[in-house]
């Protein structure tokens, strides 16, 4: 059951984006930069959200049971994402229940992130497409316990559509996780490159202008039928 204070907090997050909303969120203990753009979202039982300069959170995300959500300068969360942790891990794990997007990283839309063990996205990384699932907690059948492990997406890396990232998994910097792949827990240092398959294995090197870009995302569109690239199409 919600109390009156919690209802007021939820109502504030449901307001449309405005500078007044940013001021109101700061008065509630969040750290929202005046230039951040915060659209209508459902935020429930989240201790603190930090949004740095020119960061953005688009419409109708559900964020719940989190200790902290940190959105770096120029970073972006799209729309219709579910970002949560189980309350047990928020209570028992000192570094659990956190999501950190470093500067210019991006989550697009319609993804589900279980951040019980915490999730880190390095700068200029992207969770692209739709329907990727990040699942940081599970049952340890060997010890008959529930456990959560952190998940890391390296700087300037790209996660394709409908991937599954499990607790303890690490996508190296400047890497691609191919669409539909399953990235599993590792204790080894993974080399950068194209990781794909179930479970994901290294398939070869990757390279391209995307890995050296200076913007959060690309707005150019290539038209295969004509060979033309249209700049600033979005």
2 has pLDDT over 80: no
Query: What pLDDT digit, counting tens, does each position of 128-152 carry?
Result: 999 999 999 999 999 999 999 999 9
CATH number at residue 161: 2.160.10.10
1 has pLDDT over 70: no
Query: What pLDDT digit, counting tens, does each position of 168-200 carry?
Result: 999 999 999 999 999 999 988 899 999 999 999
pLDDT at 80: 98
pLDDT at 100: 98
Residue range 13-41: mean pLDDT, rounded: 97
Answer whether 6's CB lies under 8 Å from 34's CB: no
Structural domain for 26, as ranges: 4-230
4 has pLDDT over 90: no
Residue range 199-212: mean pLDDT, rounded: 94
Cα 30 to Cα 68: distance, rounded to the nearest angstrom: 10
Short-list 90, 87, 83, 88, CA closest to 145: 88
Give percent of the chain with pLDDT exceeding 90.
88
3 has pLDDT over 80: no
Length of the chain equals 234
Query: What pLDDT digit, counting tens, does each position of 152-166 carry?
Result: 999 999 999 999 999
Burial 63-77 (b: 16+ CB within 10 A, else e): bebbbbbbbbbbbbb
Cα 42 to Cα 64: distance, rounded to the nearest angstrom: 8
Identify the residue with better confidence: 43 or 1.
Answer: 43
Short-list 232, 134, 153, 167, CA closest to 195: 153
Question: What domain count does the chain have?
Answer: 1
pLDDT at 190: 92
29 has pLDDT over 70: yes
Positive/negative CA dihedral, 119, 26, 6, 76: negative
pLDDT at 233: 83
Q: Peptide bond before 172: cis, by omega within 30 degrees of 0?
A: no
pLDDT at 45: 94
Residue range 44-53: mean pLDDT, rounded: 97
Query: What pLDDT digit, counting tens, does each position of 110-130 carry?
Result: 999 999 999 999 999 999 999
Which residues lie below 8 Å from residue 115, measured CB to CB, with a gap of 6+? 66, 83, 84, 85, 96, 97, 98, 99, 134, 136
């Amino acid at each position: 059951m919600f109390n009156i204070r919690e209802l007021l907090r939820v109502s504030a997050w449901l307001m449309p984006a405005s500078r007044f909303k940013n001021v109101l969120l700061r008065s509630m203990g969040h750290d929202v930069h005046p230039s951040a753009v915060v659209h209508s979202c459902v935020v429930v039982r989240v201790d603190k959200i930090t949004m740095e300069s020119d960061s953005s959170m688009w419409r109708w995300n559900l964020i719940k049971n989190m200790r902290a959500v940190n959105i770096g300068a120029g970073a972006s969360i799209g729309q219709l994402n579910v970002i949560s942790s189980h309350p047990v891990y928020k209570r028992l794990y000192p570094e659990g229940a956190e999501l950190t997007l470093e500067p210019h990283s991006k989550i697009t839309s319609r993804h589900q992130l279980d951040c019980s063990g915490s999730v880190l996205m390095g700068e200029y990384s992207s969770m692209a497409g739709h329907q990727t699932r990040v699942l940081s907690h599970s049952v340890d059948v060997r010890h008959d316990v529930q456990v959560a492990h952190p998940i890391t997406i390296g700087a300037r890396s790209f996660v394709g559509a409908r991937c599954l990232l499990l607790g303890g998994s690490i996508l190296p910097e400047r890497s691609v996780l191919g669409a539909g792949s399953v990235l599993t827990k590792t204790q080894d240092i993974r080399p950068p490159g194209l990781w794909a398959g179930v479970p994901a294995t290294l398939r070869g090197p990757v390279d391209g202008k995307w890995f050296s870009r200076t913007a959060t995302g690309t707005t150019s569109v290539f038209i295969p039928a004509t060979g033309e690239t249209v700049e600033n199409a979005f």
